[in-house]
Structure 1
Amino acid sequence: MGGRISSDLLRGHTDTIVLGILMEGDNYGYGIYKRIIEKSNNLYEIKEATLYSSFRRLEKVGSISSYWGDETQGGRRKYYKITALGENEYKLNKQDWEFTKKIIDKLI
């Protein structure tokens, strides 16, 4: 059975999805992009522009911080790290989602 994922529905959760990936450990842009595809079993591919605007938003409010890696081969990568504020935000958003999911399951 083929499912369709509403990208509109998911777009509203981009920041939480990014925070969830960073809960696993520090990562860089393309690494986060690949991890999202992997975690969704290839069902969801996020637009890079959406992802990078999420990084900017999250960094602006202090939910993540960034630093440059010290790669010796190729270009340097900008890594993102979740902060204590971000971890808290992730947990709250996850609770909100569980609650919303429960209501939608009852209504649909």
Structure 2
Amino acid sequence: MAIDKSLLTGGTTMLLLKLLEQEDMYGYQMIEELKKKSKNVFELKAGTLYPLLHTMEKKGFVNSYDEEANNSRIRKYYSITKAGKQALQDKKDEWQIYAATINDIIGGVSFAY
């Protein structure tokens, strides 16, 4: 079953911060990791990802740095900051309240798919 994309947009920043909490990543790596961990529910496009990363960087949630890859190309990596870790915790708290409230209203939906 396809998931309505409007349901997914609110949590994207939280998910990206969670990935970066685990390790520094470059953009394409985040796209692939999110796709894999979500069993293809989250299929971010570069045109969606990079504006989000730039916004998170402006807010001080992430830092970026360049690193040379094996093929001598330069990749831009992103790392989570202390402010980003706090934002992640805040977003997780908000999400838990949101999900519990929706679940209460619609009546104990099973989350297995």
Structure 2 length-normalised TM:
0.88
Match runs of 1:67-78 below 5 Å:
67-78=65-76
What is residue 4 of structure 2 aligned with on the other side? 6
Query: 3-state SS of the aligned residue for 1:46?
Result: coil
Tell me the CA shift for residue 48 of structure 1: 1.5
Match runs of 1:31-46 below 5 Å:
31-46=29-44
The separation in 2 between residues aligned to 1:43 and 1:12, in whole angstroms, is: 14
The separation in 1 between residues aligned to 2:2 and 2:71, in whole angstroms, is: 39
Q: Contact 1:70 / 1:76 at 8 angstroms: preserved in 2?
A: yes
Q: Contact 1:14 / 1:51 at 8 angstroms: preserved in 2?
A: no
With 85-94 and 66-75 compared, the bigger mean Cα shift is at 66-75
Alpha carbon RMSD of aligned pairs, Å? 1.1
Match runs of 1:80-99 below 5 Å:
80-99=78-97
Query: 3-state SS of the aligned residue for 1:65?
Result: strand
What is residue 20 of structure 2 aligned with on the other side? 22
Structure 1 length-normalised TM:
0.92
Query: 3-state SS of the aligned residue for 2:79?
Result: strand
Structure 1 consecutive aligned stretches of length 4 or more whose deviation exceeds 4 Å: none
With 71-80 and 33-42 compared, the bigger mean Cα shift is at 71-80
The separation in 2 between residues aligned to 1:62 and 1:23, in whole angstroms, is: 14
Instruction: Give percent identity, aligned residues only.
Output: 33
| Count of aligned pairs | 106
Tell me the CA shift for residue 72 of structure 1: 4.4
| Gap regions ≥5 residues in structure 1 | none
